[in-house]
Structure 1
Amino acid sequence: MSNTNDSGEVMPCPNQAGSATLKAVPSRKSVLGSGLPIIRHLPSRAQRLIGPWCFLDHIGPTTLAADNGVDVGTHPHIGLQTVTWLFEGALLHKDSLGYQQEIRPGQLNLMTAGHGICHSEESPPGFAGPVHGLQFWIALPAEHEDTEPAFAHHAELPHWQQDGARITLVVGELAGRRSPARVFSPLVGTDIRAEQACRVTLPVPKTFELGLCINAGRVVMDGQTLEAGELFYLGAGRDSLTLEMDAHSNVMLLGGTPLAQPVLLWWNFVGRDQQRIADALQDWQRFPLPRFPAVSAYQGEPLTAPPLGEVRLK
């Protein structure tokens, strides 16, 4: 989906990895497109990155009418991957590579922007009902930021039962398992759903910077109660984490190896320097171009970029 920040601010995202901790990340509420409520967890001024994860929207929960669904018009991306994961409802992805893919709960849509891609996101035709999910962006490492754009849908992902919880490995690696989704740096994104009140312990790499997004219910970690709608930064240096979960609670564990170089995040672009972002904006303003082709299956107007601000990397 698109970044709703229209201030024009270019946000530096340095590596801020620290030792193991547990602190809430300040979030803000916003509305996307025609009225989809979101909580913007990342980036925030307090926490720009968690490993390579540079953006996280908690979508809903909300109920959509058939005549007022999601409609996020054609917009561009560079330098990142988008990860879409639903708990309820459905969304329809369309992109400039020609893909049209509906996603349902338990499935993964993974789009690699690389050098450049355009996409739109809508409710499927006639859809009415609840929608609840997450969308993340993963910043690509410098050596892959110009990779060819790609899209993949994964209807089946590694999952297992453990201590009363159902664990699904969405992307990356965890506990000796690997997701089939192609990523470009060491990372993890894992959905943990308590089918009953339970205590779950998972091994994690000490080198990973970690975060925990509470999507439903209540969880206790390190003696602290974590409530739904919040993101918590766990730092790095842990070799395991233990969650005491209420029945039907749900969390997403995300993290990975911190990026070797800081990145800039502006609108829907991720890059290492402002010139790269300015060049992408110039190309978008001349849309459609080979770098940012039209999404032929989308009938609406493309999104307009905000004015580009200035920033100095420190």
Structure 2
Amino acid sequence: MSNTNASGEMVECPNLAGKPTLKAVASRKSILGNGLPIIRHLPSRDQRLIGPWCFLDHIGPTSLAADNGVDVGTHPHIGLQTVTWLFEGALLHKDSLGYKQEIRPGQLNLMTAGHGICHSEESPDGFSGPMHGLQFWIALPAEHEDTAPAFSHHTDLPQWNQDGADITLVVGELDGRRSPAQVFSPLVGADIVAKEACTLTLPVPAGFELGLCINEGRTDVDGETLQVGELYYLGCGRDSLTLTLDANSRVMLLGGEPLGQPVLLWWNFVGRDQERLEDAMADWEQFPNKRFGDVEAYQGKPLKAPSLDPSVRLK
């Protein structure tokens, strides 16, 4: 989806990995498109990145009417991958490569922007009902920022039960398992659901910077109760993570190796230097073009980029 910050805020995303810790990330509520409530977890003023994960929207929970669904018009991306994961509801993805793909709970949409892509997201025709899920951006390493754009849809992901919790490995690697979705740096994104109260201990790579998004129910970590609707930063240096979950709890574990490079984010663009973002901005102003193409299946106007003051430089 699109970053709808009207100011087109440009932020620097330094790597803040350190020893194991536990802190709530300051988040903010917003409205996407024509009325979809979201919680913007990343980037935050005090936490720009968790491993290569540079953006996280918690969508809903809400209920949509058939005449007032999601409608996020055509918009561009560079230098990132988008990960869409739903708990309830449905979305329809359309992009400039010609893909048109509906996503439902338990399925993964993964879009690689690379050098440049544009897409739209809508509710499927006639859809109404509950809507709840997550959308992430993964920053690409410098050597892959200009990779060719791509899209994939996955319905067969690694799933297992551990100590009473059902785990789905959405992207990356965990406990000797690997998602079929292509990523470009070592990372993890795992959905953990407890239908009954349980305690589980997961092995995690000590070099991974970790976060935990609390989506439903009650979760305890390191003797502290974590609040629903919050993202928690866990630092790095852990070789295991113990979660105590109440019945009907759901969390998303995310993280990975820090990229070890500058990561800048402005509007819907991610890159290692400001010139890359400015070039993408200039190309989008000439939309449609060879770099971004067009989403021919979307019936509506493309989103307009906020203006970028050329005198503003990141320190």
Is the aligned partner of 1:234 residue 2:230? no
Letter of the 1:235 counterpart: G
CA distance in 2 between partners of 1:296 and 1:286 (Å): 16
User: Which structure 2 segments of 5+ residues have no match?
Assistant: none
- Runs (4 or more) in structure 1 with deviation over 3 Å come to 309-314
CA gap 1:62/1:30 in 2 versus in 1, 3 angstroms: same
SS class of match (1:229): coil
CA distance in 2 between partners of 1:290 and 1:63 (Å): 38
SS class of match (2:275): helix
Give the corresponding residue for 1:109. Answer: 109
Is the aligned partner of 1:140 residue 2:140? yes
Post-superposition offset of 1:311: 4.8
Give the corresponding residue for 1:254. Answer: 254
Post-superposition offset of 1:313: 4.3
Give the corresponding residue for 1:97. Answer: 97
- Describe how 1:115-134 pairs up with structure 2 within 5 A: 115-134=115-134
SS class of match (1:215): strand
CA distance in 2 between partners of 1:145 and 1:311 (Å): 23
CA distance in 2 between partners of 1:273 and 1:262 (Å): 7
SS class of match (1:205): coil
Post-superposition offset of 1:8: 2.7
Count of residue correspondences: 314
CA distance in 2 between partners of 1:16 and 1:308 (Å): 27
Contact kept? 2:36, 2:59, Cα under 8 Å:
yes
- Describe how 1:1-314 pairs up with structure 2 within 5 A: 1-309=1-309, 311-314=312-315
Post-superposition offset of 1:65: 0.4
- Per-residue CA distance 1:157-179 (angstroms, 9 max, x = gap): 00001111100000000000000
- Per-residue CA distance 1:223-248 (angstroms, 9 max, x = gap): 00001100000000000000000101
Contact kept? 1:12, 1:311, Cα under 8 Å:
no
SS class of match (1:282): helix
User: Which structure 1 segments of 5+ residues have no match?
Assistant: none
Contact kept? 1:10, 1:311, Cα under 8 Å:
no
SS class of match (2:143): helix
SS class of match (2:46): coil
CA distance in 2 between partners of 1:256 and 1:25 (Å): 17
Tell me the percent identity: 79
- Per-residue CA distance 1:15-74 (angstroms, 9 max, x = gap): 111110000000000000010000000000010000000000000000000000000000
CA distance in 2 between partners of 1:179 and 1:10 (Å): 32
- Per-residue CA distance 1:75-126 (angstroms, 9 max, x = gap): 0000000000000000000000000000000000000000000000000000
CA distance in 1 between partners of 2:141 and 2:179 (Å): 19
CA distance in 2 between partners of 1:301 and 1:218 (Å): 42
Post-superposition offset of 1:9: 2.2
CA distance in 1 between partners of 2:263 and 2:211 (Å): 19
CA distance in 2 between partners of 1:24 and 1:112 (Å): 29
SS class of match (1:138): strand
**RMSD (Å), alpha carbons:** 0.8
Letter of the 2:255 counterpart: G
SS class of match (1:242): strand
**TM-score, L = length of structure 2:** 0.98
